[in-house]
Structure 1
Amino acid sequence: MTRIAPTPSGYLHLGNAANFAANALLAARTDGRLLLRIDDLDRARVRPAYLQDVFDVLDWLGIEPTEGPRDVEDFTAHWSQEHRMPLYRAALETLRTRTAPNGPQLFACPCSRKELADGVHFYDCPTAGIALAAPQVAWRIDTRGLPLHAQMPDFAVRKKDGRPSYQLACTVDDYHYRITTCARGEDLRASTAAQAVVSDLLGYPKLEERMDVIHHPLLLHDGGKLSKSQGAGGVRELGVSRKEVFAIAKAWLHLPR
């Protein structure tokens, strides 16, 4: 199964639409199954209009996922990540009790983003022995000694408010839904590596053995990547055609146009 996994934190841009198309093409080349999985853990940034935009863009592209929500109401009632919170809590409990004796370790970290600048912990958290049950601590994975450390040092699996992080939830969701292939942006290579670490710690089969992850190039604007958080325009405002979007996706996947 292939998946489309947008985050409803802004209106989708051309890069998002091309990623949707790439995953639809991957599904067509494999078993034909395509899951729509909307990542809505960051509740503070979710807006009803952004959720609706996901369905509007899929409709405009002519993509019909074989599994997942059909509209905003169906998503809210049955498919929100809030409904899978028990899975995430169980995974966190597994991480708490089953860390590799000679591998990456879980530790508690009260550092703020400012105190964690450049990956250096203000409180020496990886070795400080701070209790995981302490209030207002994030749970992080000690990535020292891993190639990942340079790009994503000591990433979080649980946030200070007790909610699962993106890396934890994405790993659990991909395993839960038996995802076998997906296309992701080049900027998510470090996330893929982090999720491989989480997968190993959870005792899942090796991520690289159960998932074929294709990292595609990013679309650039004024020298930087398109981003919802930077106010990138919605797809319907860009004046591009569905055919042009699929042409971008085919080029990413090295398919004939």
Structure 2
Amino acid sequence: MQKLQLPAPITRFAPTPSGFLHVGNVYSFLITWLLARKNNGQILLRIDDLDQERVRPEYVESIFRTLEWLGLDWDLGPSSVQQFEKEYSQLRRMELYETALQNLKKEEAVFGCDCSRKLVKKLIEEHNYKGICQYKGLDLDDHDISWRLKTDGMAVVQMKRYKQALSVEELPYSQSHFVVRRRDGIPAYHLASVVDDEYFGVNMIARGEDLFESSVAQLYLAEKLGLRAFSQAEFFHHALIMDEGRKLSKSQQSSAVLDEFSQDKAKLLRKLGGWLGVPPEACGSLEEMMKQFSFERVARTISN
């Protein structure tokens, strides 16, 4: 009997150029890189630049400089800032996002909402958000109206987890009637991310465990859009780096990696290796780290 040939893994780096890359970003990118290289997969560089108000040219440039300095290579996508702007910016894929939005509209899967984000967040925190705007009959094409996806009360999706059995996940309450088109007309993150991953053939996604609920929401959206490739993607949710009980993020340690470690790359590799459970003597290079790295070691939250 001929052995079933599974598709080659394709994963991605997906930074947002709204700031310089910090050590938390690099930690996540390294896990993605290890996931791809250990599985003979390919890596796409996908830069999420839809929110042009927050994008700065120096942030885009720093993505390339930081990844190249670290040796975190990729196989697909732009090789330079110039190629990114000409061929790979999300602005070049607006037609794809608009097609997806219009399909949702045609299927009556979305409703217009004029509630503020603050109000919706408050209602969700109180477990009292019912998507009330879906009963107002607001015109989706009116000014200052966001589009929200109609979500079923007991909606579930199937999720393939890395090297685990298929699981059934319920759509979290926090993702009830999530936004797919912002009130300024820009496609929301969930929609753009799902459409992009489907377009580029991404079938293996590594991200922090804090984004697990987003993964469930995106699988739900992919099902609504009929995006079969994304629906069958394999997910790996890695542990977070915690600093005094809080997620290490831009708000705590936001210094740019190149500013903090440009004179001591070995120090950064040892720091990353420590979080990944790799002994110091095996942190001389990414290749050495790959030999010692085990995905089971990042299955729980790490304290900084």
Q: Which TM-score tier does this pair reach, normalised by the shorter chain?
A: 0.7 to 0.9
Match of 1:106 in 2: 110
Q: What is the root-mean-square deviation in Å for CA atoms of aligned residues?
A: 2.4
Q: Structure 1: where are the runs of 5+ without partners?
A: 100-104
| Partner secondary structure for residue 171 of structure 2 | helix
Q: 1:6 Cα shift?
A: 0.8
Cα distance in 2, alignment partners of residues 243 and 182 from structure 1? 25
Contact 2:149–2:177, Cα closer than 8 Å, also in 1: yes
Contact 2:172–2:213, Cα closer than 8 Å, also in 1: no
Q: Which residue of 135, 143, 147 corresponds with 2:143?
A: 135
Q: Which residue of 110, 125, 128 corresponds with 2:133?
A: 125
Cα distance in 1, alignment partners of residues 172 and 123 from structure 2? 11
Code of the residue aligned with 1:253 in structure 2: it is F
Is structure 2 residue 174 aligned with structure 1 residue 160?
no
Q: 1:243 Cα shift?
A: 4.8
Q: Which residue of 191, 198, 204 corresponds with 1:175?
A: 198
Q: 1:109 Cα shift?
A: 0.3
Q: Which structure is larger by alpha-carbon Rg, 1 or 2?
A: 2
Code of the residue aligned with 2:110 in structure 1: it is L
Match of 1:241 in 2: 268
Aligned length: 250
Q: 1:252 Cα shift?
A: 7.1
Contact 1:5–1:36, Cα closer than 8 Å, also in 2: yes
Cα distance in 2, alignment partners of residues 131 and 149 from structure 1? 27
Match of 2:234 in 1: 212
| Partner secondary structure for residue 112 of structure 2 | strand
Code of the residue aligned with 2:208 in structure 1: it is G
Q: 1:122 to 1:201 in 2, by over 3 A?
A: closer
Query: TM-score, normalized by length of structure 1?
Result: 0.88
Deviation digits for residues 48-75 of structure 1, max 9, x if unmatched? Answer: 1211221122112212211111122221
Contact 2:131–2:177, Cα closer than 8 Å, also in 1: no
After superposition, residues 27-46 of structure 1 pair within 5 angstroms as: 27-46=36-55
After TM superposition, the structure 1 stretch with the greater mean CA deviation from structure 2, 43-52 or 118-127, is 118-127
Contact 2:16–2:48, Cα closer than 8 Å, also in 1: yes
After TM superposition, the structure 1 stretch with the greater mean CA deviation from structure 2, 113-122 or 215-224, is 113-122
Cα distance in 1, alignment partners of residues 276 and 199 from structure 2? 27
Code of the residue aligned with 2:190 in structure 1: it is Q
Deviation digits for residues 199-224 of structure 1, max 9, x if unmatched? Answer: 0111112745x211101111122321
Cα distance in 1, alignment partners of residues 245 and 102 from structure 2? 43
Q: 1:111 to 1:230 in 2, by over 3 A?
A: farther
Contact 1:6–1:39, Cα closer than 8 Å, also in 2: yes
Q: 1:59 to 1:52 in 2, by over 3 A?
A: same
Cα distance in 1, alignment partners of residues 89 and 137 from structure 2? 35
Cα distance in 2, alignment partners of residues 50 and 132 from structure 1? 34
